[in-house]
Amino acid sequence: MLSRVASHLYWLSRYLERAENMARILDVGASLALLSGAGDERAASEPLIITDTLEAFGATGMPLTPEHVARYLAWSPDNPSSIVNCLEASRENARAVRGSITSEMWENINDTWLQLSAKRQGGAEPVDAAFFDWVKERSHLFRGITFATIRRDQPYQFIRLGTFLERADNTARILSVKQARQAAEAGGDGLTDYYRLSAVLRSVSSLEAYRDIYRDAIDARRVAELLIFDPSLPRSLRFCFDEVVRNLAELPQAPARAARRLAAHILALLEHGELEDVYGVGLDAFLERFLKNNIRLGEAVQAAYMEMK
């Protein structure tokens, strides 16, 4: 398979997953902002911190309100990871390789783009729950169509790699920010904690899973345990890395020794590690190291298969 095609497929799915994650972050952010009342700049800034865009947002001169933050993250053409930019980048990558994906996949992603264009007509640019649901649904739909129509071959594996590297990055970021904030506000009342933690869980579709597994009050350490180590939860770090390693194993082995070694190393920590190890180094430090490794792995995958040598 062409290296360039591999790269387009990988980024097509990374951008789509990124758009979905942004919608998840904003959706939960919006309901939390309602809870904490107007004027809470810290709550408003949370989505910016998670997505590393606090400074860039400041440079726009827009007031720090949940509404403006949501507009910036969802619709701003100047923000490279805004939902609109991600969906466009995803579709552009798909367009470049429409011969390598099934026509159902192409038609779906093209249709998403057409619907998006309709939504922004006349400057409407909605940032409500209905819009975020739509983004999530389109992403789910594409994944489902991919799963149901494409051969289990290299294109599929690069698409899956993109999805799970991006998702792991997102879950780690959400966990790390919420956790830092929690620590900074230690001694806050229990009710706020409850809403914060359930917001974390909801943003990664894991509130029901938490209830099923623990059948108990929501506790920060258990949330971390679930989202880091649980092998059965589709958005946990462990689950993501099972997928990353599995898909890497299906690809040509020779060019990717470095990538496979790094992926195996990360998976080993997730497979055999325990919560005590994490809190031993500190959750923040653990997540920071994970994020760095995850980025390095992304670079190693690109170097192995996608770069023009």
Partner 1 sequence: MSASALTPLPPPPGVFDEMLDAGLVPRAHYAAYADWLASMSPEQMAGKRAEADLIFRRIGITFSVYGEEGGTERLIPSDVVPRIIAADEWERLEKGLVQRVTAINRFLADIYHGQEILKAGLIPEDQIVANDQFAVAMIGTKVPRDVYAHIVGVDIVRHGDGSYYVLEDNLRVPSGVSYMLSNRKMMMRLFPDLFRRYHVRPVEHYPALLLQTLRAAAEIDSPTVVLLTPGRFNSAYFEHAFLAQQMGVELVEGQDLFVKDACVFMRTTDGPKRVDVIYRRLDADFLDPLAFRPDSMLGVPGLLAAYRLGNVVICNAVGTGVADDKSIYPYVPEMVRFYLGEEPILKNVPTWQCRKPDDLAHVLSRLDELVVKEVHGAGGYGMLVGPTSSKAEIEAFRRVLIANPGNYIAQPTLALSSCPTFVEEGVAPRHIDLRPFVLVGRETKIVPGGLTRVALRRGSLVVNSSQGGGTKDTWVVDVGGDADPDGDATASTGA
User: For residues 164 and 301, is the Cβ–Cβ distance under 8 A?
Assistant: no
Least Å distance between CB 130 and partner 1? 23
Contacting partner 1 (CB under 8 A), which of 6, 116, 237, 270?
Answer: 6
Question: Quick one: CA dihedral 180, 233, 294, 302, positive or negative?
Answer: negative
Find tokens 């770069």 and name the residue: 307
Give the one residue of 38, 52, 58, 103 binding partner 1; rule: CB under 8 A: 103
Cα atoms found within 13 Å of the Cα of residue 139, Cβ hemisphere only: 25
CB atoms within 10 A of CB 30: 18
Distance CA 187, CA 183 (A): 9
* Piece of 4-12, 25-33, 137-145, 226-234 that binds partner 1 (CB under 8 A): 4-12
Window of 1-9, 129-137, 176-184, 209-217 that interacts with partner 1 by CB under 8 A: 1-9
Q: Tokens 């099934």 sit at which residue?
A: 102
Q: Which is nearer to partner 1, 100 or 170 (CB)?
A: 100
Interface with partner 1, residue 239, by CB under 8 A: no
Nearer to partner 1, 222 or 246 (CB): 246
Cβ proximity to partner 1, 95 vs 222, nearer residue: 95
- Binding mask 53-92 vs partner 1 (x if CB under 8 A, - otherwise)? ---------------------------------------x
In terms of CB distance, is 38 or 118 closer to partner 1? 118
Please tell me the distance from the alpha carbon of residue 82 to that of residue 78, in angstroms, as a whole number.
8
Binding of partner 1 at residue 107 (CB under 8 A)?
Answer: yes
- Tell me if 72 sits within 8 A of 79, measured CB to CB: yes
In this structure, are residues 38 and 184 in contact, taking their beta carbons and an 8 Å threshold?
no
- The DSSP symbol for 82 reads S
Q: Does position 290 bind partner 1 by CB under 8 A?
A: no
- How many residues sit in the footprint of partner 1 (CB under 8 A)? 26
| Alpha-carbon gap, residue 43 to 281, rounded angstroms | 27
Q: Which residues bind partner 1 (CB under 8 A)?
A: 1-6, 92, 95-96, 98-99, 103, 106-107, 110-111, 114, 154, 251-252, 254-255, 305-306, 308-309
